Every structure is written in structure tokens, then in C-alpha cells.
Chain A
Amino acid sequence: SAVISQKPSRDICQRGTSLTIQCQVDSQVTMMFWYRQQPGQSLTLIATANQGSEATYESGFVIDKFPISRPNLTFSTLTVSNMSPEDSSIYLCSVEDGGAAFFGQGTRLTVV
């Protein structure tokens, strides 16, 4: 399966600031996905990132809050903007490989 690396693995941020999370894959993939996992909860899809086009956001998530870049077929970034304590979660990128979805190790974000 694809090897997916996320950076940073964790961070503690001040409210009102922004954090950019990077996701690197060791092979070219058409779609990359960003999920949020709030403490003790399940995973919720934030958006789908396609190379060469704007990301597609799910209901409840907007580009101004979660801007996404997809400059090439192996890399994507998710920015969490103007953070509040409610944004404290694990953020995970995911790619499809061989018909199945695999996840990065996640970024644990704490907003204080």
C-alpha cells in the first residue's frame, strides 16, 4: 500500500492562529482526502483534493476555514485557519491505493 507521511504529527497552537498540515505520498494518486476526528469520535470527511482543481468541500466545511492546496499528484496541504478550541482534533489525510483507502498517521492539534 501507499506510504503516507503527515507533518506535523502534533502541535499546540494559540487561538486565532493558523496551522498548515502537510501530506506526502510515495506514489502518484488522483484524489487525496482530508478527514477530521474529534476527540473520542469517528472520522468525518472535510474535503476531497484533486490536482489541478479546487478542492470539493463536504457540508459543514468551508474553504475560508480549511483552505487546501494540491500542487502535484503526491502532495497536499490542509490549513486550519483562525483556530478556536473547537478545532482541537486529529486531522488525517487519506489516499486510495488498489481500490482501498489508507490513512496518514494523523496530526493531533490542540488549540489553547
Chain B
Amino acid sequence: GENVEQHPSTLSVQEGDSAVIKCTYSDSASNYFPWYKQELGKRPQLIIDIRSNVGEKKDQRIAVTLNKTAKHFSLHITETQPEDSAVYFCAASIKEYGNKLVFGAGTILRVKS
């Protein structure tokens, strides 16, 4: 089955700096890659996603890149703000099988002001 690895496990950045979180997946059939932000005590919130027919997607300060050949995808947050502090999870799924997501272990992002 699918296995998703996520790095780093914790990331501290200064406010205004960029943050990058990387994930690799094992199943070449995976074709959908969402990213979730989870604040303490809250539900995971979808922040951006990408499908395998696209190499990059951007939404304001957030971007995701996908390298299908290398089977890795990354989340980029620019101009970080204290409210970006949270746990971020990457995930992978095969859309034809519904949204059965396999999650990475998560990254704790701390933005220091």
C-alpha cells in the first residue's frame, strides 16, 4: 500500500521568512495530493491540493509543487506570519478509489515574531 513520508517533523522560522515542507510517496498510482493545516484542538483544514497532471499550484502565499518522476511534493509558504503556526499534514490518494487519504506524519511549524 501507499506510504507517505514527511520532513521535517518540526520547523521554526522567523516571521516573514519562507517555510518548505517536503513529502515523498511510494505508490506511483497516487494522483491526488492535498495539504492540511491543523491548529490545536481543531479539525484538519484543507489549504491547497494538487493533481498529478499539474506540476505546480499557487494560492496567495501558499504553493505546492509536484515531481511525479521522483514521487515527491512540497508545500511552500512565503512571508510567514504567526498565524501560520500549526501542524501541517501532507496526504496522497488515488482519486478513482475515492478520497482514501494516506497521511504523512506531520510537521509542526512555529513562526517566531
Contact = CB atoms under 8 A, between A and B. Distances in A.
Contact of B99 (A92, A100, A105, A106): A100
Contact of B46 (A31, A42, A100): A100
B100 A33 contact: yes
Interface residues of A, number: 21
Contact of A101 (B1, B46, B106): B46
Interface string B66-103: 00000000000000000000000100010100111111
Interface string A20-35: 0000000000110100
Where chain B touches its partner, the secondary structure class is loop
Interface string A28-51: 001101000000011111001000
B95 A45 contact: no
A101 B99 contact: yes
A102 B44 CA distance: 8
A96 interface: yes
Interface of A: 30-31, 33, 41-45, 48, 59, 92, 94, 96, 99-106
Given A94-B101, A103-B44, A105-B42, 4 more contacts: A33-B100, A45-B100, A92-B44, A99-B32
Interface of B: 1, 32, 34, 42-44, 46, 49, 89, 93, 95, 98-106
